[in-house]
Structure 1
Amino acid sequence: MQDITIKIIDREGTTHEVQAPIDMNMNIMELVRMYELAPEGTIGICGGMAMCASCQCYVLNDVTIPEKCDDEDAMLWEAYNVKENSRLGCQIQITAEIDGLEIELAPES
C-alpha cells in the first residue's frame, strides 16, 4: 500500500477526498498544502514546528492517531477556536494507521 485516503473539509465547507502517500514522511499540514486546500500563507506558517496553530484541524472520526506531544498541547492551549477534538495538522504523520481519517480545517483566527 502506497497511499491512504483522507477526507478534508476546507474552510469553505467543501469536502475533499484525497490520496495521501505513506512513503514520503508527510503530515496533514503538508497534505493540505500539497492539494492547495487552504490559501497560500494561511496554513503551516511556522513550517510545521507546532508553533503557530495555523494548521489546526478537528478530527471528525475515530481513527487512532498518536497522542498530543507537549508542544502541541501548549500551542493548542493558546490557539483560537479550539475544540475537544482539535489537533495540529503538522503533528499528525501520514501513516497506514490513519487511513480513513476525516478532518475539518479550523477557521483562520
Structure 2
Amino acid sequence: MTKITFIEADGTRHETDAEAGATVMETAIMNAVPGIVAECGGACTCATCHVYVDKEWEETVGGPSAMEEDMLDFAFEVKPSSRLSCQIKVKDELDGLVVHVPGRQG
C-alpha cells in the first residue's frame, strides 16, 4: 500500500494507507480526513477536495490538467502547489506523499 499523509491547516497529521488506482480524495474520504469535502464525488466539477502538494512532491505529482485548472478558480487561496485531490491517482511512485489541507474549501 502507498502511504499518504494529510496535514490539516492546524498541523494535525493523518497518515493513511492508499490503494493503487484510487485517488488521493478517495483515500481522504475513506479515512475521514477533515477538510476534504468532495461534494462532487470526484467528477472534477467542484473545488471541495483542494489540497496543496508538499514542495518535495510537486514534481512527482505533476501539475493540473486544463479542466482541473478551471475548477481551481473556485477554490480559496490557490497556490502554485494547488491540486484537486480527486485528480491525483495513487500509484507506487507516490508512496510517502504529503499534502496539506486548506483551512477552508471552495
The alignment's TM-score, normalised by the length of structure 2, stands at 0.86
Q: Which has the higher helix share?
A: 2
> Structure 1 residues 9, 18: CA separation in 2 closer, same or farther (over 3 Å shift)?
same
One of 76, 93, 101 as aligned partner of 1:97:
93
**Count of paired positions:** 103
Identity %: 34
**1:7 alignment partner, SS class:** strand
Give the gaps of 5 or more residues in structure 1: none
- Which of these two proteins has the greater Rg computed from alpha carbons? 1
Match of 2:26?
A: 30
Whether the 8 Å CA contact 1:61–1:101 is kept in 2: the answer is no
Match of 2:16?
A: 18
The alignment's TM-score, normalised by the length of structure 1, stands at 0.84
Q: Distance in 1 between matches of 2:30 and 2:67?
A: 24
What's the C-alpha RMSD, in Å, of the aligned pairs? 1.7
Displacement of 1:10: 2.5
Give the gaps of 5 or more residues in structure 2: none
> Structure 1 residues 34, 11: CA separation in 2 closer, same or farther (over 3 Å shift)?
farther
Q: Distance in 2 between matches of 1:52 and 1:21?
A: 23
Q: Distance in 1 between matches of 2:95 and 2:74?
A: 29
Matches within 5 A, 1:59-98: 59-63=53-57, 64-98=60-94
